[in-house]
Amino acid sequence: MSDKIRIGTRDSELATWQAKQVQTKLQEFGHESELIFVKSEGDLDLTTPLTEMGGKGVFTKALDDALLENRIDIAVHSFKDLPTENPLPLIVSAVMEREDPRDALVAPRGTDFLNEDTGGAVIATSSNRRRAQWLHRYPNHEITNIRGNVNTRLRKVDENGWNGAIFASAGLKRIGLDDNISVYLDWMVPAPAQGAMAVMIREEDKVMMEVTSQLNHDETDLCTGIERELLNEMEAGCSAPVGAFAEIIDGSVHLSAIALKTDGSLQYDIEVSAPISDAKGLGRKAGRKLLEMGASEIVADLRS
């Protein structure tokens, strides 16, 4: 291919790192490319809580537009930011190998407060899922909203004197800031597709489909697909207090999922597994079970 492939990305350090990973991989397959930077609504408005911005497409719409207008050939996304339903003629052509999917706590002044029953600790997150799981475990704590890219959020935790903030381990690791991690939150169920990157193209672009499909990591593709299937079945959207994590162990796919009231007062969780050959639909099955258990009220509450 003589022309350079135009890779669309947001301009934060993490988004740029992700786009450069795709660029490096494409180069390994013999394709030249260039990065095209695009500002999203989520990057321009750093004050409105994400949950109030509608969640869907806050970080992705500008890149969708750039693809549809043929200003870029491919877009690189954090897969967890993508809505599970896309009415546009765009498709995910590759899911890259997943980084650490866990959430992590950054606590600049230490984690002793986690062992105290007195309460009053302030934890920063803009995610309903993290908020709900944290409050379920630490009902005496207070949650405060935090926005901005990884570096901005790290600075805000320090400056505001909060006890801690919750981050995706993958983001911190990718840009070499994981020395800020105080503790991995192994008990917290991550967002569907957390830690995975998605490559999106125009549906009719057969050339890009052929080129980018080489980037796909089959295991990550399967597991994140099942997690997103659950989210889609529950019609919950990216901003819902729903977590899902699938992994392959000894030839079977194991899925853990959780749905909570935003204040953490009510929690439904489920674990299911199936052989890899029968794993398709596992997320839908688990999603339906969660709804039957009572999570349907949680989803209804969110909509209202």
* Per-residue pLDDT tens digits for 157-207: 999 999 999 999 999 999 999 999 999 999 999 999 999 999 999 999 999
Active site (annotated) includes residue 117: no
Domain regions of the chain by residue span: 5-96+196-216, 103-184, 231-303
Distance between alpha carbon 196 and the CA centroid of its chain, in Å? 7
pLDDT at 302: 77
Which amino acid is present at 135? L
Q: Is the pLDDT of residue 20 over 80?
A: yes
* DSSP 8-state secondary structure symbol assigned to residue 193: T
- In the block, tokens 């909509």 appear at 303
End-to-end CA distance of the chain: give it in Å, rounded: 50
Residue-level pLDDT at 236: 76
2: pLDDT confidence band, cut at 50, 70 and 90?
very low
Q: Are 237 and 129 in contact (CB under 8 A)?
A: no
Task: State yes or no: pLDDT of 43 exceeds 90.
Answer: no
Q: Which two tokens stand for residue 24?
A: 């490096």
Edge-first strand order for the sheet with 33-37 is 33-37, 5-9, 74-78, 197-202, 90-95
- Residues of 152-175 as b/e, b for ≥16 C-beta within 10 angstroms? ebbebbeeeebbbbbbbbbbbebb
Above 70 in pLDDT, residue 1? no
Taking only the tens place, the pLDDT of each residue in 212-254 is 999 999 999 999 999 999 999 998 777 789 999 999 999 999 9
Separation CA 18–CA 38 (nearest Å)? 14
Say if residue 40's pLDDT is above 90. Answer: no
Q: Which of 81, 100, 205, 221 is catalytic?
A: 81
The class of domain 103-184 in CATH terms is alpha beta
> Across the chain, what does the average pLDDT equal?
92
The hierarchical CATH code for the domain 231-303 is: 3.30.160.40
pLDDT digit string, tens, across residues 119-154: 789 999 999 999 999 999 999 999 999 988 899 999
Whether 5-96+196-216 shares its CATH topology with 231-303 is answered no
Going by C-alpha positions, the residue among 153, 123, 158, 157 that lies closest to residue 137 is: 123
Lowest-pLDDT range of 9-13, 102-106, 196-200, 281-285 = 9-13
pLDDT at position 120, please?
85
Helices 150-160 & 13-28 angle (0-180, nearest 10): 150
| Top CATH class, 5-96+196-216 | alpha beta
Own/partner pairs, 230-233, CB within 8 angstroms, 24+ separation: 230/192, 230/255, 230/257, 230/283, 230/284, 230/286, 230/287, 230/290, 231/84, 231/192, 231/283, 231/287, 232/84, 232/85, 232/283, 232/284, 232/287, 233/283, 233/284, 233/287, 233/288, 233/291
The sign of the dihedral angle between the CA atoms of 40, 45, 49, 51 is negative
**Rounded to an integer, what distance in angstroms lies between the CA atom of residue 250 and that of residue 224?**
18
Residue-wise pLDDT for 49-83, tens only, equals: 555 545 556 678 999 999 999 999 999 999 999 99
